[in-house]
Structure 1
Amino acid sequence: MTRLLVATRNLKKLTELQRVLDAAGVAGLSLLSLADVPAFDEAPETGATFEENALAKARDAYAATGLPSVADDSGVEVDALNAMPGVLSARWAGRHGDDAANTALLLAQLADVPDERRGAAFVSACALVHGPGAGDAVVVRGEWRGTVVREPRGAGGFGYDPVFLPAGSERTAAELTPQEKDAASHRGRALTALLPSLRELV
């Protein structure tokens, strides 16, 4: 069994990756989170892009543990806000990971924006680092287009899911089943693109 460090403390992301691996028939990977390894200094997320942040997190995790490491950086880019919050999504309201405050601020900023101009995309960059060299890293990107609704709906998912209505759907991301979300979501798409590299680890 190959141990794979998922550089997050969000166990929902771990579960999401496990579902994607199971659905693709990839066995032989044992997933660990940051809670399962000794603590190490994590560099602040200062990258200008999701890709830069994901790669920096995965490199830090590999350097500290020697384990193949996957990291993701994700967020929502809103057309009417010039693609913000973007890489600032998790701390848009000022405190990292306060989903309710971040969502409330976003809705307030879009209060006067008409429905036809509320387009947005969830973006996820996933990085896999399995060695110290430049060639030992893979970075992939997934995008999920939709619009921002005016009121939160649904109790599933996390982050901005309750206010994100995927294109062609009548249900928000928070109203989809985990399997439905995996099949369409930004992170599901990025993790699927990462599958060939994950298979090589096994």
Structure 2
Amino acid sequence: MMRLIIASSNKGKLREYSQLLSPLGYEVVSAKEAGFDVEVEETGTTFAENSALKARAIHELSGECVLADDSGLCVDALDGAPGIYSARFGGLSTDAERTALLLEKLKDVPDEKRGAHFMCTICFIYSDGRELAVEGRVYGTIAHTPSGSNGFGYDPVFLYDGVSFADVDSDVKNSVSHRANALKALLEQLDKGENV
């Protein structure tokens, strides 16, 4: 098993990366588990900038392989908001509060205008400092009410093929999600004869 530090403390993300990467021979550990308990300020103006900031900070401290992502929900009717501010939307501290705010902002928006996508960018840094950057998306719509108990964040209101991400089986979500799509793009790059 090759150790890979995930520059995140988000338990949902860590669980998804472990499910996706463990079968490929990676021992996924959080930055904290690796001994690096630092909060990297996300001062970038894009998902790509924020994922790179996090990955570089942990790589500088560890000298090991690091993966960081930045992801969020982009809602068409809100001009792409909450976007990079998804985790701090409205200055609120819980997923439930942020989801309620989102639904409030969309309360008068008809079904045909409730399009949205989850976006994920990954910055992967090899132990020698080389970097790879990829992105993934998944498209859907925003429900009128939350549904389901799986998932995290905005999953209960994000409908993929008419079913909320919090209602689908984790194996299904892990095969179609924005994170899965970004990871597929990363693995295609890693497969080009690159050794970690």
Same fold (TM over 0.5): yes
SS in 1 for 2:156: helix
Question: SS of the residue aligned with 1:83?
Answer: coil
Is the 1:42–1:60 contact (alpha carbons within 8 Å) kept by the matching residues of 2? no
Partner of 2:113: 117
Residue 170 of structure 2 is aligned to residue 178 of structure 1: yes
- Residue identity (%): 43
Find the aligned partners of 2:57 and 2:14 in 1 and give their Cα distance.
Answer: 18
Identify which of 135, 147, 150 aligns with 1:153.
147
Aligned counterpart, 1:188: 180
Query: Contact 2:63/2:128 (CA < 8 Å) preserved in 1?
Result: no
Name the count of aligned residue pairs.
194
Task: Please say if 1:12 is aligned against 2:2.
Answer: no
Partner of residue 128, structure 1: 124
2:87 equivalent to 1:90: yes
Matched AA of 1:63 = E
Unaligned runs of 5+ in 2: none
- Asked if the contact 1:2/1:201 (under 8 Å) is kept, the reply is no
* Counterpart amino acid of residue 59 in structure 1: R
**Structure 2 residue identity aligned to 1:150:** H
Match in the other structure for 2:58? 61
What CA deviation, in whole Å up to 9, does each residue of 1:101-127 have, x standing for no partner? 110110000111111111000001111
Q: What runs of 5+ residues in structure 1 fail to find an aligned partner?
A: none
Q: Which amino acid aligns with 1:157?
A: G
* Structure 1 position 63, deviation (Å): 0.5
**Aligned CA distance change for structure 1 residues 58 and 6 (closer, same or farther; 3 Å):** same
8 Å contact from structure 2 (residues 31, 37) kept in 1:
no
Q: Distance in 2 between matches of 1:109 and 1:79?
A: 12
Distance 1:201 1:33 in 2: 21
Quick one: structure 1 residues 20 and 41, their matched pair in 2 at CA, closer, same or farther if it must change by over 3 Å?
Answer: closer
- Which residue identity lines up with residue 111 of structure 1 in the other structure? K
Deviations 1:48-89 (A, max 9, x none): 111110111001110011111001110000001100100000
RMSD: 1.7
Q: Which amino acid aligns with 1:21?
A: L
**Does the Cα contact within 8 Å between 2:124 and 2:132 map onto a contact in 1?**
yes
Deviates more, 1:43-52 or 1:71-80: 43-52
Tell me which moved more, 106-115 or 1-10.
1-10
